[in-house]
């Protein structure tokens, strides 16, 4: 695991976008695992600008998103499919059928769909204040595959900032499991802001702690990159 601390979230986005585009130039059939939330937005902005500047095509790229709320369809502006269309997909030359989201219908087949496509080459992750990755809340099994889960009160409260009322936040979601995520060949986890500092400190203790699902990344030997801004790194010793 490599920890990289940058001054700003924009610098993090620029650097990871550069790395992703470098990989796409070597293999234009990459499989990308994508995340939603505020954290990856600077990365998506940089991917859009840099791919235009460097004329990199996404025509053969397939994407698998980490998670989706139960009960919100693609036309709902709080669904993750809507988020991805608005913040990334519509700006690039992806083929229309190249995007995959977990759903109550494909849940039991989502891991197989990923495998059949060739497995995820690059997985983008954020982290929750409670250490969740995707919607794998504390104490989710390490063996978990894509599954339906109940969101914790902390997650519902944090995500309510995107909804009119906290009661509107779905209480269930479909998420890739921890074992699904750990199979990705390369992982970039991004954490920005002071509210992530505690979870980052726990994750970087170097061992797997079930109450901090992100710490499962310690079990992966190579190609895990943790990008932090100075706020998220506040509680680290050096």
Which residues in this chain contact ligand PGA in the complex, by CB under 6 A? 37-39, 126-128, 132
Closest to ligand PGA by CB, 33 or 128: 128
Closest to ligand PGA by CB, 20 or 56: 20
Sequence-distant (≥ 6) Cβ neighbours of residue 52 within 8 angstroms: none
User: From the CB of 151, what's the least distance to ligand PGA, in Å?
Assistant: 10
Task: Kindly report the number of other CB atoms within 10 A of residue 116's CB atom.
Answer: 9
Please state, in angstroms and as integers, the Cα–Cα distance from residue 152 to each residue in 11, 85, 195, following that order: 31, 27, 17
Catalytic residues: 67, 130, 132, 137
Distance (Å, whole) CA 236 – CA 231: 10
User: From the CB of 93, what's the least distance to ligand PGA, in Å?
Assistant: 26
Distance (Å, whole) CA 218 – CA 235: 18
Closest to ligand PGA by CB, 132 or 183: 132
- Burial grade of 136 (CB within 10 A; 0-12, 13-18, 19 or more): buried
User: From the CB of 160, what's the least distance to ligand PGA, in Å?
Assistant: 12
Q: For ligand PGA, which residue has the nearest CB?
A: 37
User: From the CB of 157, what's the least distance to ligand PGA, in Å?
Assistant: 11
Closest to ligand PGA by CB, 102 or 128: 128
């Amino acid at each position: 695991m490599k920890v990289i601390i940058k001054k700003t979230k924009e610098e993090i986005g620029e650097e990871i976008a550069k790395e992703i585009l470098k990989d796409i130039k070597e293999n234009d059939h990459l499989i990308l695992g994508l995340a939603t939330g505020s954290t990856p937005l600077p990365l998506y902005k940089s991917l859009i600008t840099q791919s235009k500047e460097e004329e990199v095509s996404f025509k053969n790229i397939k994407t698998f998103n980490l998670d989706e709320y139960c009960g919100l369809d693609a036309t709902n502006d709080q669904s993750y499919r809507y988020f991805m269309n608005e913040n990334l997909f519509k700006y690039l030359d992806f083929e229309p059928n190249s995007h995959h989201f977990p759903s109550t219908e494909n849940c039991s087949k989502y891991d197989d769909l990923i495998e059949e496509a060739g497995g995820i080459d690059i997985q983008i992750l954020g982290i929750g204040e409670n250490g969740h990755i995707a919607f794998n809340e504390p104490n989710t099994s390490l063996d978990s595959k894509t599954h339906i889960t109940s969101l914790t009160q902390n997650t519902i409260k944090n995500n309510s900032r995107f909804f009119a009322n906290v009661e509107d936040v779905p209480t269930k979601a479909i998420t890739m499991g921890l074992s699904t995520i750990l199979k990705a060949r390369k992982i970039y986890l991004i954490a920005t802001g002071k509210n992530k500092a505690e979870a980052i400190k726990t994750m970087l203790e170097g061992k797997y702690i079930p109450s901090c699902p992100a710490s499962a990344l310690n079990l992966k030997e190579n190609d895990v990159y943790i990008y932090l801004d100075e706020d998220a790194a506040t509680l680290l010793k050096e």
